[in-house]
A and B are shown apart, each in its own frame.
Chain A
Amino acid sequence: MRKESLVSITDYSKDEILEVLETAKLFEANPNRRVLEGKVIATLFFEPSTRTRLSFETAVNRLGGRIIGFSDASTTSSTKGETLKDTIIMVSNYVDLIIMRHYLDGAARYASEVSPKPIINAGDGSNQHPSQTLLDLYSIYKTQGTLENLNITMVGDLKYGRTVHSLLMAMSHFHPTFHFVAPEELKMPDEYKVYCDKLGIPYEEHRDFTEDIIDRADILYMTRVQRERFTDLMEYEKVKNVYTLRNAMLAGSKPNLRILHPLPRVNEIAYDVDDNPKAYYFEQAKNGLYTRQAIICKVLGIKITD
């Protein structure tokens, strides 16, 4: 694999993560820098994801690059049975960088092995989505002024939610304390708890989403509890509203608390929270633009210094 590619958040060391966040800060101050002038970038979306694609394409446009690609694999040769390898090699003849999303787990890692051009993984099945993790980190960094020694409380679907798993791995560099709030069926998988144990990272698990837990948090990371994840629909009916955050629950929370959510949200954050200054999920999405600009520059070896 080319070492420039970004496939999984674990591809980046602590220093590399911090480097991306510092660059993102520069892009936030000035997002329009034509450092990709003359470069062509491919956005290959084998699975539709409008939010992620628009964010990446905006990033490229604001950097002065040109884009080719597709937003839905049904219009490509993969429907004729072309292998991923052939598609990637063919496209890499034309471009300087490939940003790809795929419905299969591990597709981006494989692409990074066969492609002579670097790959940015914009999500591979239920596996990794490193640009989401980096924008989450940037949002935490920006709102807390640091990534060190924070109380990170994760709520909702902690079993299937890849964003919480990647965030946990990335935050593990920075001495966090974790609180995992989830129903029994969707609790944090053992492998991540073992991972915390190995690194000596303290964590607590909770079934109930109470104000006592909220009051201790610096970051409240909400996720969607999806009906299709439950084998027992009775169980879903029981818990579906238990993990909903309402404005009244924030009365005693810390002043620096911020509420994050990877979006789209359904009913896990009540609309009355939106007007609370601690609600940060829309700005979090905006941070995705600066973070992705920083990732693109890092992968292409372009240094931004001021």
Chain B
Amino acid sequence: MELSDKELKVAALENGTVIDRIPSDQLFKVVSLLHLDTMDKSITIGNNLYSHKIGKKGIIKIADTFFKEEDIDKIAILAPKAKINIIKDYQVVHKQEVSLPDQLHDIIRCANPKCITNNEPMATKFDVIDKENVTVKCCYCEQAISKEQIKIK
């Protein structure tokens, strides 16, 4: 497989996952979404790097960790253009873009203060009604929430 200089730097990881093209202002939210702050593997985080696709970007490399598809897809809420590279033996063995799942389980908070989910100790549940623009609908109060209103739990 032919790799560009940029991707070779990424491939300096022996085994693990690289999450690329995260908007800089979302980088640390992605960190907490994936609970990287409590992980004991070696993690490299770069931020405010130049990207001709999205302007300033962040990148995260996590050694010896491979996420489940559903966990990776959660990233799409914060970074819909993020790219995932799976590295094995210094080689990119798999590349994928993230895509929003049809339902979000207990990942985000409802924006409606009068929603039962904000008043009971319970899990939230949202149907994704517009993947392109990231619009979700609470399965309890039935209110639609736009991308700007989304808060990670």
A residues with a Cβ closer than 8 A to B are 8, 83-85, 102-107, 109-110, 124-128, 191
Whether B117 contacts A106 by the Cβ 8 Å rule is yes
Q: Is B142 an interface residue (CB 8 A)?
A: yes
Partner of B120, one of A84, A125, A126: A84
List 8 other contacts, CB 8 Å, given A102-B116, A105-B116, A106-B116: A83-B121, A106-B142, A109-B140, A110-B116, A124-B116, A124-B141, A125-B114, A126-B114
Q: Is B119 an interface residue (CB 8 A)?
A: yes
- A103 to B122 Cα, complex, angstroms: 17
Partner of A109, one of B119, B121, B139, B144: B139
- A127 to B141 Cα, complex, angstroms: 6
A-B contact pairs, 9 of them (CB 8 A): A85-B120, A103-B114, A105-B141, A105-B143, A106-B141, A107-B140, A110-B117, A127-B141, A191-B144
Number of cross-chain contacts by CB at 8 Å: 49
Q: Which residues on B sit within 8 Å (CB–CB) of A109?
A: 116, 139-140
Q: Is B112 an interface residue (CB 8 A)?
A: yes
In the assembled complex, the CB of A199 is this many whole angstroms from the nearest CB of chain B, namely: 16
Q: Which residues on B sit within 8 Å (CB–CB) of A8?
A: 142
Instruction: Give residues of chain B (20-54) contacting chain A, Cβ–Cβ below 8 Å.
Output: none
- A109 to B124 Cα, complex, angstroms: 12
* CB nearest to B119 among chain A residues: A104
Q: Which residues on A sit within 8 Å (CB–CB) of B112?
A: 105
Whether A127 contacts B142 by the Cβ 8 Å rule is yes
The size class of the interface chain B forms with chain A is 10 to 19
- A84 to B121 Cα, complex, angstroms: 10
Q: Is B115 an interface residue (CB 8 A)?
A: yes
Q: Is B138 an interface residue (CB 8 A)?
A: yes
B residues with a Cβ closer than 8 A to A are 112, 114-117, 119-122, 138-144
Q: Which residues on A sit within 8 Å (CB–CB) of B140?
A: 105-107, 109-110
- A191 to B137 Cα, complex, angstroms: 12
* CB nearest to A10 among chain B residues: B142
- A127 to B142 Cα, complex, angstroms: 7
- A59 to B73 Cα, complex, angstroms: 48
Whether A104 contacts B142 by the Cβ 8 Å rule is no
Q: Which residues on A sit within 8 Å (CB–CB) of B120?
A: 83-85, 110
- A217 to B26 Cα, complex, angstroms: 52
Whether B115 contacts A104 by the Cβ 8 Å rule is yes
- A277 to B120 Cα, complex, angstroms: 48
